[in-house]
Amino acid sequence: MVVAVVLASLLPTAVHASPIVEVSKLKGDLTISAATSLTDAFTELAKQFRKVNKGVKVRLNFGSSSTLIAQVQSGAPSDIMASADLTNLEKLVASGNVVVTPKVFARNTMAIAVKPGNPKSVRSVADLTSLSFIALCGKTVPCGVYASSVLTRAGVVIAESKVTRGIDVKATLSAVANGDADAAIVYRTDVSAAKKTVVGIDIPSAQNVKAMYGIAPIRGSKNPANAKAFIDFVLSEQGWQILKSFGFQRP
């Protein structure tokens, strides 16, 4: 409730643009599979969506995009897929699990996370080579693929024997926040969400990547109307304001 009130006061234009008076007639379930890096933003989006669509029971299923894609392909019931990259969504298009072209709804970048006070004085991607242990996402997880691109663009090579691989972005960041990893390369939004436990170091855009987030309804969904309504909400101005408040950028 408090969060909602604070958000509403932060977003006067959005609230005025779409006054929440009408209550939709939508009913039933809505299962949304979303990338771990969307956890906070989608939890809030779902909360606001429910205010208008009181009849819809929203279930959020977070995981690494690659895991979620595998779940959908093996028939796990899901109405919407929101991925942290477009490559994984294209796999769903290729396998026929998505029939419409996925919509790009947000953009993210990568940042370095270190322990509070930056004890190892990390200033750049190149400084990572001098550290003992680096946390990166799994090689097939989008944040792991993006981290590899960052390292390649920066011309930095880190021995695999110094890399601990997290199963998703939150687990990867946790290796720095709660464990003994010296640094992690994760999404900028996750660094700011965890600002009590880690400190972020920006990666210059020449070395950085543009992580594009895509969303699409799943073929064979039992709740296509609900799925369409939620996707429209994410793409609406109100939805964008919520995403923006969590640090996402315009695609």
Partner 1 sequence: MSTKKRRVGAETPPFVWVGASCALLFLLLPLVGLLKRVAWSGIFGAVTSGPASEALRLSLITSVVATMIALVLGLPLAWVLARIEFRGRSMVRALVMLPMVLPPVVGGVALLGAYGKSNGLIGGWLFDVFGLQLTFSPLGVVVAEAFVALPFLVMAVESGLRSIDPRFEESAATMGLGPSERFRKVTLRLLAPSLIAGVAVAWARALGEFGATITFAGNIEGRTQTTPLAVYLLLESDPEAAYALSFVLLAICVAVLVAMRGSWMGRRS
Smallest distance, Å, CB 161 to partner 1?
6
Which of 5, 19, 160, 205 touches partner 1 by CB under 8 A? 160
Q: What is the DSSP string of 118-183?
A: -TT---SGGGGGGSS-EEEE-TTSHHHHHHHHHHHHTT----GGGEEEESSHHHHHHHHHTSS-SE
Rounded to the nearest whole angstrom, what is the least distance from the CB of residue 160 to partner 1 in the complex? 5
| 105 vs 87: CA distance, rounded Å | 15
* Per-residue DSSP letter, 18: S
Is 153 a binding residue for partner 1 by CB under 8 A? The answer is no
Question: What phi and psi values does residue 59 have, to the nearest 5 degrees?
Answer: -120, 130
By CB under 8 A, tell whether 52 contacts partner 1.
no
Among 15, 93, 104, 167, indicate the residue that binds partner 1 (CB under 8 A).
167
The span from the CA of 236 to the CA of 221, in Å, is: 22
Among 7, 15, 60, 70, binds partner 1 (CB under 8 A): 70
**Residue (11 or 141) nearer to partner 1, CB:** 141
How many Å from the N-terminal Cα to the C-terminal Cα in the chain? 29
Closest separation between CB of residue 225 and partner 1, Å? 32
198 binds partner 1 (CB under 8 A): no
CB of 94 to partner 1, least distance (A): 16
Q: Cβ of residue 80: shortest distance to partner 1, in angstroms?
A: 21
> What does the alpha-carbon distance between residue 191 and residue 211 come to, in Å, rounded to a whole number?
15
Contacts with partner 1 by CB under 8 A lie at 66-67, 70, 115, 132-133, 135, 138-141, 160-167, 171, 175, 178-181
